[in-house]
Amino acid sequence: MHWAEAFFTDDSEEIIATGISPSGPIHVGNMREILTGDILFKASLRKKKKSRFIYLGDDADPLRKVYPFLPQSYTEYIGKPLYKIPAPDGSFPYSEYYLTPFIETLGKLNVKVEIIRSSELYKNGVFAEATKILFENIEKVSRILEEISKRELGENWAPYNPECSKCGKITTTTVTELSFPILKYQCSCGNSGECDVRTDKGKLPWRLEWPAKWFSLGVTTEPFGKDHGASGGSYDTGKKIAEEIFHIRAPKPLMFERILLKGKGVMHSSTGINIAAHSFIENAPPESLRFILSKNQPSRHISFDPGLGLLNIMDEMEKYRKAFFGLDKVSDENLESILFFSSLTGKIEKPLPISFRHLLTLVQIYKDEASIVRLGNLGDENKSVIHEEIEIAKRWLDTYGPDDIKFKLLNEDARVKLTPEESKFISNFLGEMKDMDWSPESIHNVIHESIKSSGIDQQEGFCTFYRVLIGKDKGPRLGYFLFGLGKDYVIKRLQLNA
RNA sequence: GGGCCCAUAGCUCAGCUAGGUAGAGCAUCUGGCUUUUAACCAGGUGGUCGGGGGUCCGAAUCCCCCUGGGCCCGCCA
């Protein structure tokens, strides 16, 4: 059984939650969380469970540091909530600047999720009840944190970080007095003040905010990265607080491994080792990302390769699709589930009449879409899908295409040095092509005949064409290639080099 | 110091939740074919399931120990 379907063992209602901090560009590695959640959500619906799926944007988190992609001037914003500071391009606020492309990306990936900003939860008092309970049990809460996470909280610890009314930071305040719902603080900027913890004038610390979220929203299932799952980590403390303070069951956890960028290491926004999610799905087939995540077990890390590796993924996905429609064979008992969870439309898409790999060749030969459709024998059936696929193929080549898969025609007047055997072969071909039927198949046949009649090595023969036309030793299938270039063009180039 | 994940064919991985004759793709080999940006078709070879112990009629699967690799463990997320 598929991992997502095996995850649910009863028919109770599910509220599946995920959260990603919009503190920077959301990258492919971050997508594992939301897509794992989405796959679980869809699996629960398939099992006829009543379910909701929530994404919580942690926009109330403070800016931690000046990330490498930020100007140095951001030093002044460190410690302030992301939804209260400006974005790098001058727009406002910071959090929406990174949330917007992410939300667009979700749409393109067929992720239908309720989007909630944690700032709203504070503003609307949704956390008020949870906060009250935490304050009422402050002794017990701090003991749990200290015992399970094996750290000391210190004298001035409070279950709430107030925002300084003067400097706006929530990381520099020290609580001096607390009696729910009002708390007094002293800030290192010199200011002191009061704050109502039922409002958005501050924030719960992460280890309390997480279980408070479970309590306030009724979360039953939550996928999260392994960093939360370490012993003594935030899931451990959250679980205990859920059970002993809020008297609820902690959500069923699904811990997933990280996504690595092949050859580079773990994806991280702060190290620069990452691919922005919105950029990947613009420059590669979006369903490939869903396919990768639904096919792999969450517990396994994924070595992500947007170049040649992606082509293999596409080959595999096309094979799966064909197999689903009885046109190929794949021995994977989860074939149908994997395809369903990869789908961008809610149903399993038919395979296109052309592979992504072949399309990459066509878009390099032909400038106009009409020719690609004609030469690829694509028909009118999937016009808009094919249009989109062609655009993606072009962008993929520009963005991730490895050099040995790209080619450019040489200038029309370029001369290439050939051996006598090669020249003879070209001449033979020119002789034979005069009154041939100009179609990909017959071109292919004539090439083979010319190879035989000139006694040249087979591979040499093919190489000769590529050297004359694109200056490389390898290239696209010659029949289609020459056909697309046009008879006149081919004759011209060959005569010049014969 | 603590924790999690991974280890199954040359490579990438299924199979482990509920123990019952060890699987796929790629690579390789054989045969076919009018070879091309990692061609296609048919068939074959290939594994003490990391090591050791235990439970069991029976273990890749469950339990314990060990080894190797990856990752995590103040705050923040």
* Cα dihedral: A164, A215, A259, A398 (round 10): -70
Distance A300 CA to B22 C1' (A): 22
pLDDT of residue A392: 93
> What pLDDT digit, counting tens, does each position of A251-281 carry?
998 989 888 888 777 888 777 788 899 999 9
pLDDT of residue A366: 79
- Which segments within A12-104 are labelled E, that is strand? 14-20, 51-57
| Ramachandran category for residue A205: left, alpha or beta (phi over 0 → left; psi -120 to 50 → alpha) | beta
> What pLDDT digit, counting tens, does each position of A292-318 carry?
999 999 988 888 888 888 888 888 888
Q: How many residues does chain A have?
A: 498
Token pair listed for A285: 């087939």
Q: Quick check: A329 pLDDT over 90?
A: no
Token pair listed for A231: 């012993």
Distance A245 CA to B31 C1' (A): 72
> What pLDDT digit, counting tens, does each position of A7-42 carry?
888 889 999 999 988 999 999 989 999 999 999 999
Instruction: Report CA A393 to chain centroid distance, whole Å.
Output: 17
Distance A333 CA to B19 C1' (A): 21
Distance A299 CA to B3 C1' (A): 15
C-alpha separations of A18 from A38, A114, A116 in Å: 9, 10, 10
Distance A358 CA to B65 C1' (A): 53
Distance A477 CA to B39 C1' (A): 10
For nucleotide B2, give the residue with the nearest CA to its C1': A231
Q: What is the pTM of this model?
A: 0.91
pLDDT of residue A81: 95
Query: Shortest CA–C1' contact from A480: which nucleotide?
Result: B36
> Taking a C-beta distance cutoff of 8 angstroms, is the pair A80, A43 a contact?
no
pLDDT of residue A137: 93
Distance A491 CA to B67 C1' (A): 66
pLDDT confidence of A83, banded at 50, 70, 90? Answer: very high
Which residue in this structure is represented by tokens 């046949």?
A445
For chain A, what percent of residues have pLDDT higher than 90?
Answer: 45
What b/e sequence results for A95-122 when a residue is b if at least 16 CB atoms lie within 10 Å of its CB, and e otherwise?
bbbbbebbbebbeebbbebeebbbbbbb
Distance A18 CA to B51 C1' (A): 40
pLDDT of residue A319: 87
Query: Shortest CA–C1' contact from A296: which nucleotide?
Result: B13
Q: What residues have CB less than 8 Å from A147, skipping those under 6 apart?
A: none
For chain A, what percent of residues have pLDDT higher than 70?
Answer: 99
Query: Shortest CA–C1' contact from A441: which nucleotide?
Result: B34
> What pLDDT digit, counting tens, does each position of A389-440 carry?
999 999 999 999 888 888 888 888 888 888 888 888 888 888 888 778 888 7
pLDDT of residue A136: 93
pLDDT of residue A481: 82
User: How far, in Å, CA of A498 to CA of A496, rounded?
Assistant: 6
User: How far, in Å, CA of A273 to CA of A292, rounded?
Assistant: 19
Mean pLDDT of A339-353: 89
> Taking a C-beta distance cutoff of 8 angstroms, is the pair A245, A140 a contact?
yes
Which residue in this structure is represented by tokens 């800030």?
A187
pLDDT of residue A412: 83
Report, in this order, helix, strand and coil percent for chain A, each rounded to 5. 50, 10, 40
pLDDT of residue A274: 84
For nucleotide B5, give the residue with the nearest CA to its C1': A299
Mean pLDDT of chain A, nearest integer:
89
Which residue in this structure is represented by tokens 């897509």?
A35
Question: In the 8-state DSSP scheme, what is residue A408?
Answer: -
Q: How many CB atoms lie under 10 A from the CB of residue A124?
A: 11
User: How far, in Å, CA of A248 to CA of A37, rounded?
Assistant: 21
Query: Shortest CA–C1' contact from A3: which nucleotide?
Result: B17
Q: How many CB atoms lie under 10 A from the CB of residue A179?
A: 8
pLDDT of residue A476: 83
Mean pLDDT of A71-98: 94
pLDDT of residue A68: 86
Query: Shortest CA–C1' contact from A407: which nucleotide?
Result: B37
> Taking a C-beta distance cutoff of 8 angstroms, is the pair A187, A172 a contact?
yes
Query: Shortest CA–C1' contact from A472: which nucleotide?
Result: B37
Nucleotides of chain B within 7 Å of a protein C-beta? 2-6, 13-15, 17, 23-25, 34-38, 70-77
For nucleotide B24, give the residue with the nearest CA to its C1': A331
> What pLDDT digit, counting tens, does each position of A112-134 carry?
999 999 999 999 999 999 999 99
Does the ipTM surpass 0.90? no
Q: Quick check: A154 pLDDT over 80?
A: no
pLDDT of residue A151: 79
Among candidates A249, A251, A246, A248, which has minimal Cα distance to A134? A246
pLDDT confidence of A193, banded at 50, 70, 90? Answer: very high
> Taking a C-beta distance cutoff of 8 angstroms, is the pair A307, A264 a contact?
no
β-strands A259-261, A302-304: how paired? parallel
Q: Which domains does chain A have, with CATH numbers?
A: 3-127+205-261 (3.40.50.620), 150-203 (no CATH), 281-399 (1.10.10), 420-497 (1.10.10.350)
